[in-house]
Structure 1
Amino acid sequence: MSVSAKPSELTSIPFLREESDPQGSCIRDVDRALDNTTFARAVRSLADRFAALGVTSGDTVAVLLPNRVEIVTSMFAAWFQGAAMTPVNPALTDEEICYQLEDSTSSVVVGDERAAALADALGIAWVDVRTIHDLTQAHVPERRPASDGSDFALVIYTSGTTGKPKGVLLDHSNLAAMSNSLIAHFSLTDADTSLLVLPLFHVNGLIASVLSPLRAGGDVVVSPRFSQETFWDLVETHRPTYFSAVPTIYAILEGRADRPVDTSSLRFVICGAAPMPAELITRFENRLGVAVVEGYGLSEGSVASTINPVDGPRKPGTVGIALPGQEVAVVSADGTPQPHGQRGEVIIRGANVMRGYLGRPAETAKVVRDGWLHTGDVGILDEDGYLRIVDRLKDMIIRGGENIYPKEIEECLYGHPAVFEAAVVGGRDDVLGEVPVAFVATKPGLTVNSDELLAHCAASLARYKVPTQIHVLTELPKNSVGKLVKGLLRDQIAH
């Protein structure tokens, strides 16, 4: 296939590699391995099927599937048609899925029988996932991709913790800027292999673990889901050079490893989506001999804005330095830049910042002002430009006029040897307004009571920061990406 891409387009997309390296490895999962030529045929064949269903530039294709290669094939086929893809979390209820399909005005759903039933109920087209790679041997006439840099590429839905989920609009220029930034920061090349363990309905999996290595010429191994029983087998079999995961996964891998593992293929591993305790980073690196680079970002910023360097100084407890092509600042409530060491809201500027929220111009205007993405996170920049996330503005607890950042208490609790996970939320108090209430889960085989944890906090924290209650649970609630869901904990103490 011969394609001459304009500079503004998302260039170097994987199926262009069939000319330079036809049999080169591209992407694989537990069911199939596709080289560059086979992947190219699958993408072009599916793009033609989309075209036959009326999909054209500006439309949206929904994909309702657990992790598998067909999600990536569908994404590139949609792009070939000039359409966007909206990935749908299979764990959602039918009602939640229908909301996303209708809000995104999806014209086609790719998936299994469940997707077929929902598509039929909404009167939209369905593509059976089982047929996608049946046509990889068929001849497909050559034609140019229909998309350019200003076309929407992804509609990513937020978790909806503060209301109905919002569709984050990312165009091809956003994805090009973001993947270029990651390629430069990590020095990704055709020698790199990414092991995907995060869900493909999230930008972390799609961009950090799939798009970036493919654009660098490398390849991708798609794991259906994270499993502590099989994870290291995957690493030893496929020999990836990196993977991206969340703190919970690293805690499980470090705390429950029951055999020596070969990590020699790994250049680094990435941690994102939620803050990772510095002590856990150190334990993981010492035990497994792999550099952990913690980063920070939002879907609204195309996934990442700061990451610790692989080869330069890494500072556990920080989320690193600004990625190439991005600016990160910390400002006061009135927008004044804060000096080094002072808290303020983290704001981000760069070509990676979203085009907006789908159909929500007022909400877009609140978070993107004068080109800066206002994150709602409280952070501190040090003299070397390393960012430390203190907390969410909305999570701050005001106890009798004193500001308390839950993350500070959580870090203290993580310092106890029996604590596996910790979360602190604000509980109502008739006198003080709010008070900190903590929830912890213990490490396997270890026990601790609330009195012991209260004493541990009292030894390190000012009295007003010590939780009024500490609840010890078997596990803390998480969403499908692995983030702790504090809203469910607040609900527990509200009744």
Structure 2
Amino acid sequence: MARPTPAGTPYGNYAHAVLTANARRTPDRVALTYCGERNLTYAELDRLVNRRAHALAEAGVEPGRRVAALLNETLHVAEVYLAAAKLGAVTAALNPYWPADTLAAVVARSGATSFVYDSTVEGAVAEIRPRLPEVARWIKIGGPGRSAEAAGDTGSEGGAGNTGNAGDGGDGGKTVDLDALTAGAPEDEPALGGSWDDPLALYYTSGTTGLPKAVVHTHASSLATAQIWLDVPRTEGSVLGTGAIIWGIGFPALVGPALYAGMRLVLEQDWGPANFLRVVPRERVTHVSQIPSFYAALLGSDDHAGADLSSLRVIMLGGEPLPAALLGRMRERLPEAGVYCYYGQTEAPYTCFGRVDDGTTPLGSSGRARTGNAVRVTGPSGDRLVGEVGEINLAGPHRMAGYDGLPERTAEVLRGEWYVGGDLGVLSEDGDLTVLGRREDSILKGGLWSQPSAIEEAAVALDGVAEAGAVGVPAQAEGREATEQEVLLAVVARAGHTLDPAKITLALTETLPAHRRPDRVVVVDDLPHFQDASGGPGKLLRREIRERYGNRTEEA
């Protein structure tokens, strides 16, 4: 159970600190604009969240208990997440794009006893509800539910469509109408049920196999993340725009920081290029956080030519590399905007960032650790490295508490104060971090890490090589460490060419350092790839290369 916030010290409660404090400081400033249709001042938003909190409590949501939240309407996300935080309930922040089987399994594992959802996901709720008998309270926001039969689903009694009276509390297979409860709820702040090191939410991160992992963040770690925008230029009139990516870690990484910094938060449902071009001029948006591919799409056509984007001042980019050519197009089109690259993970959001458009941070780097955070790079033995490839370690008060229900996995990645999540990078003497990729795709040879791409690029540069795939396989030579690997290189010949593995090995020995030189070369007809949405070849499947050719001892 969450402990009550001590009397007189409410600022350890996440929602009080990011919202109520500003409602008292600047009550009449607009806090939130929803889809251009509704404005809420900080005081109005705080009162609305208080009413939602009282309504959730009346519906049976209790401090310290898990409440699953499947929400797609951005305003509902903000209201429910903040209300649950005031109560001290632990929000399991579900992804509305997960398939039904994943949703049901994640909720069952979360231990949630309440489930709150909005009308956009009624179909998914009707499908998973019969599989979740441990959920005692089903709570609908956004109007009363439809009957299961009217919704085209007659498969279960007590499904999401069977809506009861507001006072049912979820008993008897009924759904509580949160709006009805809210209408009669008081506006005063509820008793704050959690603070500081109490769990605030479960945010999910997907792996290559199995269910998404539940990352536990506390009130304290989320408050530390909320300080992101304090480290970038802003004014009293700054406006953050975002769309329906705020469920999950997007909430403490975008919504919380905007409110904490006293900005105006513009929430949209659609944040694609077309609506972006409408909303930015209309709301005079100044701050955004996206991925580089968004700007490749935005600037890839002439649709942006007539749009007034002059209000943009800060563009945060992460998740993928920013090509120099794209940065050049962004600088030309958005000359008043500072372009920042950042790095972090769900387990430690926004740990590093730096401005790249003015040369302050080298292009390709993710910048330095932000105020109060730390980053280092370590070698296989745990020693700190500078200017060499190693594992990225992140630390700070924003770091997760652990993975829910996975103590062994938590112990693997939390090493003292550091989170070590499996990414490789290089840290410069000035503290700039360059992220290279996942450790599982990298090769450890001679005590040094290598990215496969460096080997593959050298191989493809050789005459007659059409494609190459490099992977690490267990070392076969005597006297090598158990963790040491050899480099296996699979190559595909160009049409009309014949490749000799021995000649390829010799040529690469002359051009590559020892830790990148292939120990075995195999010539193959083709390399395995993911299939992209259009049916064409996608990302190289290195695991399959290893499985196919890792045990071949002869050079083909």
Which TM-score band (shorter chain)?
0.7 to 0.9
Is the 2:239–2:285 contact (alpha carbons within 8 Å) kept by the matching residues of 1? Answer: yes
The residue number in structure 1 matching 2:289 is 244
Seen in structure 2, the aligned counterparts of structure 1 residues 65 and 86 have a Cα distance that, compared at 3 Å, is: same
| Cα distance in 1, alignment partners of residues 39 and 538 from structure 2 | 36
The residue number in structure 1 matching 2:259 is 214
Q: How does 1:122-161 map to 2 (within 5 A)?
A: 122-123=132-133, 124=135, 125-131=137-143, 138-140=184-186, 142=188, 143-161=190-208
The residue number in structure 2 matching 1:32 is 38
1:382-434 CA distance string (max 9 Å, x none): 1221111122111125899996514658999xxxxxxxxxx9975799x9974
Query: Is residue 12 from structure 1 mapped to residue 17 from structure 2 by the alignment?
Result: yes
Is the 2:17–2:260 contact (alpha carbons within 8 Å) kept by the matching residues of 1? Answer: yes
Is the 1:270–1:294 contact (alpha carbons within 8 Å) kept by the matching residues of 2? Answer: yes
| Cα distance in 2, alignment partners of residues 190 and 335 from structure 1 | 44
Q: For 1:12, what is the secondary structure of its paired residue? A: helix
Query: Is residue 59 from structure 1 mapped to residue 59 from structure 2 by the alignment?
Result: no
Identity of aligned residues (%): 28
1:56-84 CA distance string (max 9 Å, x none): 12112222122521001110111111012
| Cα distance in 1, alignment partners of residues 415 and 30 from structure 2 | 43
Query: Is residue 227 from structure 1 mapped to residue 272 from structure 2 by the alignment?
Result: yes
Seen in structure 2, the aligned counterparts of structure 1 residues 382 and 103 have a Cα distance that, compared at 3 Å, is: same
Q: For 1:90, what is the secondary structure of its paired residue? A: coil
Is the 2:354–2:366 contact (alpha carbons within 8 Å) kept by the matching residues of 1? Answer: yes
| Cα distance in 1, alignment partners of residues 65 and 211 from structure 2 | 22
Is the 2:197–2:219 contact (alpha carbons within 8 Å) kept by the matching residues of 1? Answer: yes
TM score, norm. by length of structure 1: 0.80
Query: Is residue 184 from structure 1 mapped to residue 193 from structure 2 by the alignment?
Result: no
Deviation (angstroms), 1:345? 0.8
| Cα distance in 1, alignment partners of residues 293 and 46 from structure 2 | 36
The residue number in structure 2 matching 1:42 is 48
Q: For 1:337, what is the secondary structure of its paired residue? A: coil
Query: Is residue 173 from structure 1 mapped to residue 173 from structure 2 by the alignment?
Result: no
Seen in structure 2, the aligned counterparts of structure 1 residues 426 and 107 have a Cα distance that, compared at 3 Å, is: farther
Residue from 101, 107, 114 that aligns with 2:123: 114
Seen in structure 2, the aligned counterparts of structure 1 residues 230 and 401 have a Cα distance that, compared at 3 Å, is: same
The residue number in structure 2 matching 1:194 is 240
The residue number in structure 1 matching 2:400 is 354
Seen in structure 2, the aligned counterparts of structure 1 residues 372 and 26 have a Cα distance that, compared at 3 Å, is: same
1:458-488 CA distance string (max 9 Å, x none): 9xx96979998689999579xxxxxx99587
Is the 1:398–1:435 contact (alpha carbons within 8 Å) kept by the matching residues of 2? Answer: no
Which residues of structure 2 form unaligned runs of 5+?
1-6, 144-177, 459-466, 477-485, 496-506, 549-556
Is the 2:377–2:390 contact (alpha carbons within 8 Å) kept by the matching residues of 1? Answer: yes
Deviation (angstroms), 1:258? 2.7
The residue number in structure 2 matching 1:336 is 383
Deviation (angstroms), 1:232? 1.3
Seen in structure 2, the aligned counterparts of structure 1 residues 186 and 428 have a Cα distance that, compared at 3 Å, is: closer
| Cα distance in 2, alignment partners of residues 278 and 386 from structure 1 | 18
Residue from 300, 322, 333 that aligns with 1:276: 322
Seen in structure 2, the aligned counterparts of structure 1 residues 403 and 216 have a Cα distance that, compared at 3 Å, is: closer
Letter in 2 for 1:271: L
Q: For 1:78, what is the secondary structure of its paired residue? A: helix
| Cα distance in 2, alignment partners of residues 55 and 83 from structure 1 | 7
Query: Is residue 371 from structure 1 mapped to residue 422 from structure 2 by the alignment?
Result: no
Seen in structure 2, the aligned counterparts of structure 1 residues 208 and 410 have a Cα distance that, compared at 3 Å, is: farther
More deviation in 262-271 or 396-405?
A: 396-405
Is the 1:356–1:364 contact (alpha carbons within 8 Å) kept by the matching residues of 2? Answer: yes
Letter in 2 for 1:243: V
The residue number in structure 2 matching 1:97 is 103
Query: Is residue 264 from structure 1 mapped to residue 310 from structure 2 by the alignment?
Result: yes
| Cα distance in 2, alignment partners of residues 315 and 255 from structure 1 | 25
Deviation (angstroms), 1:351? 0.9
Letter in 2 for 1:87: A
Q: For 2:295, what is the secondary structure of its paired residue? A: helix
Is the 2:529–2:540 contact (alpha carbons within 8 Å) kept by the matching residues of 1? Answer: no
Is the 2:287–2:315 contact (alpha carbons within 8 Å) kept by the matching residues of 1? Answer: yes
| Cα distance in 2, alignment partners of residues 428 and 348 from structure 1 | 26
Deviation (angstroms), 1:23? 3.8
Which residues of structure 1 form unaligned runs of 5+?
413-422, 439-449, 452-457, 478-483
Q: For 1:58, what is the secondary structure of its paired residue? A: coil
Query: Is residue 71 from structure 1 mapped to residue 77 from structure 2 by the alignment?
Result: yes
Seen in structure 2, the aligned counterparts of structure 1 residues 286 and 435 have a Cα distance that, compared at 3 Å, is: farther
Q: For 1:297, what is the secondary structure of its paired residue? A: strand
Is the 2:317–2:340 contact (alpha carbons within 8 Å) kept by the matching residues of 1? Answer: yes
Is the 1:391–1:406 contact (alpha carbons within 8 Å) kept by the matching residues of 2? Answer: no
1:240-279 CA distance string (max 9 Å, x none): 1111001221221222343423222111100112333344
More deviation in 390-399 or 218-227?
A: 390-399
Is the 1:61–1:85 contact (alpha carbons within 8 Å) kept by the matching residues of 2? Answer: yes
Q: For 1:54, what is the secondary structure of its paired residue? A: coil
Query: Is residue 82 from structure 1 mapped to residue 88 from structure 2 by the alignment?
Result: yes
Seen in structure 2, the aligned counterparts of structure 1 residues 139 and 59 have a Cα distance that, compared at 3 Å, is: closer
More deviation in 393-402 or 383-392?
A: 393-402
Letter in 2 for 1:171: T
Seen in structure 2, the aligned counterparts of structure 1 residues 253 and 436 have a Cα distance that, compared at 3 Å, is: farther
Seen in structure 2, the aligned counterparts of structure 1 residues 472 and 428 have a Cα distance that, compared at 3 Å, is: same
More deviation in 225-234 or 23-32?
A: 23-32
Seen in structure 2, the aligned counterparts of structure 1 residues 139 and 108 have a Cα distance that, compared at 3 Å, is: closer
Deviation (angstroms), 1:102? 1.3
Highest Rg: 1 or 2? 2
Is the 1:244–1:269 contact (alpha carbons within 8 Å) kept by the matching residues of 2? Answer: yes
| Cα distance in 2, alignment partners of residues 411 and 317 from structure 1 | 18
Deviation (angstroms), 1:171? 0.1
Letter in 2 for 1:234: V
The residue number in structure 1 matching 2:331 is 285
Query: Is residue 321 from structure 1 mapped to residue 368 from structure 2 by the alignment?
Result: yes
TM score, norm. by length of structure 2: 0.72
Is the 1:42–1:135 contact (alpha carbons within 8 Å) kept by the matching residues of 2? Answer: no
Is the 1:63–1:109 contact (alpha carbons within 8 Å) kept by the matching residues of 2? Answer: yes
1:282-331 CA distance string (max 9 Å, x none): 33223322221000001111x11100048881321100011111111111
Seen in structure 2, the aligned counterparts of structure 1 residues 23 and 474 have a Cα distance that, compared at 3 Å, is: farther
Letter in 1 for 2:105: Y
Q: How does 1:344-423 map to 2 (within 5 A)?
A: 344-396=390-442, 404-406=450-452
The residue number in structure 2 matching 1:447 is none
More deviation in 273-282 or 367-376?
A: 273-282
